[in-house]
Amino acid sequence: MDRKQLPLRADARRNRERILNAAARHFAAQGIDTSLEEIAKAAGVGSGTLYRHFPSRDLLLAALLRDSQEKLLAQAEAARKIDHPGTALQVWLKALQSHLRTFSGLPAPLLAAIKEQASPLATSCQDLLSITEELLVQAQEEGQAKASVAASTLFLGALASAWAADHAEALGTTEEALDALLAQGYLTEK
């Protein structure tokens, strides 16, 4: 399928940009379940225009995540170059979790995306899962990660900890403490 796309009319291109800016602000401030109508209003466009550019909330989200996603893939590349595979896995998981915390409420649609292949978030999610698997297997081959752990379990754990991270302070704990709890489970002892 062609993905030609680009030659947007000047006003359309400007509107698209405005919508993305407003959405980034609102998603960051209120979480990803915030009202799309308000985003359209803040962007100074009619709600129909928002839907023309981003027919679903997931498509808008996917567009917003693109930057963070690319940064993450670069970090994956860096992790691959680390000698010690156990460390590489740890570095990767840390970067992954940071990505998953880009917006509050992000884990839920990402998880949903994995089930419904149709979602625009699905392929990128699959990529992240593949990278996790690749680095996990290498660590396991060197005996630096437990053989009993599956990549999907680790990935789900990362999603879960991102889900919880928003609320860590309110409960009197910290994101770091939560990460530490999770980080113990997959490494081989000592």
Partner DNA sequence: ACCTGAACACCGTTCAAGT
The answer to whether 185 contacts a second copy (rule: CB under 8 A) is yes
User: What, of DNA, a second copy, none, does residue 185 touch, CB below 5 to 8 Å by kind?
Assistant: a second copy
Q: Spell out the residues 6+ positions from residue 179 whose beta carbon is closer than 8 angstroms to its own.
A: 94, 97, 161
Q: Shortest approach of a second copy to residue 16 CB, angstroms? A: 31
Q: Shortest approach of DNA to residue 60 CB, angstroms? A: 9
Q: Shortest approach of a second copy to residue 174 CB, angstroms? A: 8
The answer to whether 114 contacts a second copy (rule: CB under 8 A) is yes
Q: Which is nearer to a second copy, 47 or 174 (CB)?
A: 174
The answer to whether 161 contacts a second copy (rule: CB under 8 A) is yes
- For residue 185, what is the DSSP state? S
The answer to whether 56 contacts a second copy (rule: CB under 8 A) is no
DSSP string computed for 108-168:
HHHHHHHH-TTSTTHHHHHHHHHHHHHHHHHHHHTTSB-TT--HHHHHHHHHHHHHHHTTT
CA distances 70 to 1, 63, 73, 164, 175, Å, are 23, 12, 5, 24, 24
Taking the CA atoms of residue 67, residue 69, residue 72 and residue 74 in that order, the dihedral angle to the nearest 10 degrees is: -70
Q: Which stretch binds a second copy (CB under 8 A): 44-52, 84-92, 93-101, 164-172?
A: 164-172
> What residues make contact with a second copy under the rule CB under 8 A?
111, 114-115, 148-150, 152-157, 159-161, 163-164, 167-168, 170-174, 177-178, 180-186, 189
